[in-house]
Structure 1
């Protein structure tokens, strides 16, 4: 980590001059004088202790170091712009920030959000997905709905559903011999060892096959006929009703616990209460 950073204005001036190939054009774009741009570039070169431009009369061209820094600077400024624009979400008066896993969002929540919006058009919902459990004390999140939650400080915690798991595949694979079906492996409860430990029957699963860290991608692969998978009853419900997945056994084993965390600042908020009531009705 750098102890000292170059001024952001100097980086903006450098990026504009490098992209446009002109200090004059950079000054016009940034509403500065050309001398101000020149001063920013000189200060940046002094900070880095190497030239960034070749100067020939009024024309300028990047040095090798300048080319290298341009790529880094453009990436930095773009990420910063995106992050600043995202902060606008927090200024909306009816904003409700809901966190979930990508798999839950894609395979269960998003297909039902239209219903929630029709019932509660006053809620300006922002769905924020993450692979990692959010820290509700440091992140601006009203509600987290996930299968990997435990109690956190400053939040109410509630288990909503005890999921069940079963082996499934696309219907067209049913005609293939069990020995010829590819086995799709997931992580945590979607690993086949979970099925075996709880006494699930042998349906031709093998140790080799295709491996997925995301249960949502595991479901996609199974529904597209890539092989057999151990799937969540909750997340697979729509695919099963659409006849893209069919069970390979009548047995089911214990799955993950779906729960919510509601931040104490949102617990009595009418927007959060509307979402929680709707979620309870749909999950329980």
Structure 2
């Protein structure tokens, strides 16, 4: 971490001048004088102790260091702009922030959201997906719905259902010989070692094959006919209904627990109660 940072205005002036190839055009874009842009860039060059532009009369061209800094500066300013725009979400009076995994969002929650929106059009839902379990004490999240949760302080924790896992593939693969099918491998409970440890039958799975760290991508690959996979009954619900997945056996084994964490500061809010009630009904839990 740098102990001292160059002024943000100097970086903005540099980015505009570098992108437009002109101090004059940068000044017009930022509503500044050309001398102000020149001063910003001189101060930035002084801070970095190296030139960023070659100057020849009124024309300027980036040095190698300038090209390098331009890429970094544009990325930084873009991320800052996105982050600031995202803060507008917190000002919405009917905002409800729901955290979940990308797999649950894509394969279960989004396909059911039309029903929620029809019932509760007043709720302005912000679906915030992360691979890592959130820290509800430090992040602005009203509800977390995931398969990797445990109790956290200042939150109501509830196990919603125990998932079941089973081997499945695209229906077209069922006609193929077992040794001709590619095996798709996942992580955690989606690993075939879990299936075998729980007494799952041999369905032709092999140690070789494609590997996926995201259970959502594993499910996508199986639904596209890339091979056989151990899938979540909950997440595979829509793919099976669309005829994209078929079980290789009727046997299932224990899967992860799907739970929620509800921030106690939000628990009595009507928006939170509406979502929790709808979610429990949609999942078939009381």
Q: How large is the RMSD of aligned CA atoms in angstroms?
A: 0.8
Cα displacement (A) at 1:12: 0.2
Within the alignment, does 1:253 sit opposite 2:253 as a pair?
yes
Residues matched between the structures, number: 284
How far apart are 1:64 and its partner, in Å?
A: 1.3
Secondary structure of the structure 1 residue equivalent to 2:73: helix
Deviations 1:186-229 (A, max 9, x none): 10000001010111111111111111001101111111111111
Unaligned segments of structure 1, at least 5 residues: none
How many angstroms apart in 1 are the aligned matches of 2:151 and 2:67?
A: 49
Q: Please give the secondary structure, in 1, of the residue aligned with 2:24.
A: helix
Deviation at 1:35, TM superposition (A): 1.3
Aligned ranges 1:90-101 → 2 under 5 Å: 90-101=90-101
1:282 match = 282
Q: How does 1:209-248 map to 2 (within 5 A)?
A: 209-248=209-248
What CA distance in whole angstroms lies between the structure 1 residues aligned with 2:194 and 2:2?
A: 46
1:185 paired to 2:189:
no
Moved over 6 A (4+): none
Distance 2:54 2:221 in 1: 53
After TM superposition, the score normalised by the length of structure 1 is: 0.99
Which residue of the partner structure matches residue 9 of structure 1? Answer: 9
Q: Which runs of 5+ in 2 are unaligned?
A: none
Q: Which residue of 1 aligns with 2:170?
A: 170
Structure 2 length-normalised TM? 0.98
Give the CA deviation at 1:34: 1.3
Give per-residue Cα distances to partners, 1:147-183, cap 9 Å, x unaligned.
0001111111100010000111111111111111111
Matched position secondary structure for 2:141? coil
